[in-house]
């Protein structure tokens, strides 16, 4: 006896193609249902509980730290190495940071880094003028209207 083949659903969301099987779709719906029930129960248990005071600031600080660390990892640095001012971190730390950076780059799909020479170079009047002169006529008119209009 052959098992019944699970047919695939096909969704085109924006430019992404999503094809879960019926079993995966049922699991997602079931897990979302359990999530809603869990959050409803949590709200009932902690009716007077709110995210005011230090709870909210701890949560916001954690999220901002994770986001900042992600940006720094993509750039090839970390908060640890920036705060300690390490130019050349010890080899075990470098290996751990590089593996974390590679995983993050694979997840985000980032292929290019900001060159450190461009990130640290303050713009000069000559550089801005050169960049303005290199624009085509429509872009130059747009920049002029943005700068000169009140």
Whether the CB-CB separation of 97 and 89 falls below 8 Å is answered with yes
What's the rounded Cα separation, in Å, for the pair 61 and 84? 20
pLDDT of 99 reads: 78
Q: What are phi and psi of 58, to 5 degrees?
A: -65, -45
Question: How many whole angstroms separate alpha carbon 70 and alpha carbon 122?
Answer: 24
61: left (phi over 0), alpha (psi -120 to 50) or beta: alpha
- Give the pLDDT confidence score for residue 120 in this predicted structure: 59
pLDDT at res. 114: 53
Distance CA 38, CA 115 (A): 46
Instruction: Please say whether the beta carbons of 68 and 74 come within 8 A.
Output: no
**What is the chain's pLDDT, residue by residue, as a tens digit (150 residues)?**
555 455 556 667 777 666 666 667 777 788 888 888 888 887 777 766 665 667 777 877 888 887 777 777 666 667 766 766 666 777 777 777 777 777 777 776 766 665 555 555 677 888 888 888 888 988 888 888 888 876
Single pTM value for the model: 0.32
């Amino acid at each position: 006896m052959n098992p019944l083949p699970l047919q695939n659903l096909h969704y085109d969301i924006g430019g992404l193609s999503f094809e879960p099987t019926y079993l995966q779709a049922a699991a997602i719906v079931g897990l979302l249902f359990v999530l809603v029930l869990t959050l409803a129960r949590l709200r009932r248990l902690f009716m007077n509980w709110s995210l005011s005071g230090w709870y909210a600031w701890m949560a916001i600080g954690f999220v901002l730290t994770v986001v900042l660390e992600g940006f720094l990892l993509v750039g090839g640095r970390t908060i640890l190495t920036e705060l300690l001012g390490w130019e050349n971190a010890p080899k075990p730390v470098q290996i751990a940071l590089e593996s974390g950076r590679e995983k993050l780059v694979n997840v985000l799909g980032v292929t290019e880094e900001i060159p450190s020479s461009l990130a640290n170079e303050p713009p000069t009047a000559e550089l801005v003028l050169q960049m303005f002169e290199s624009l085509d006529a429509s872009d130059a008119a747009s920049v002029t209207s943005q700068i000169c209009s009140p």
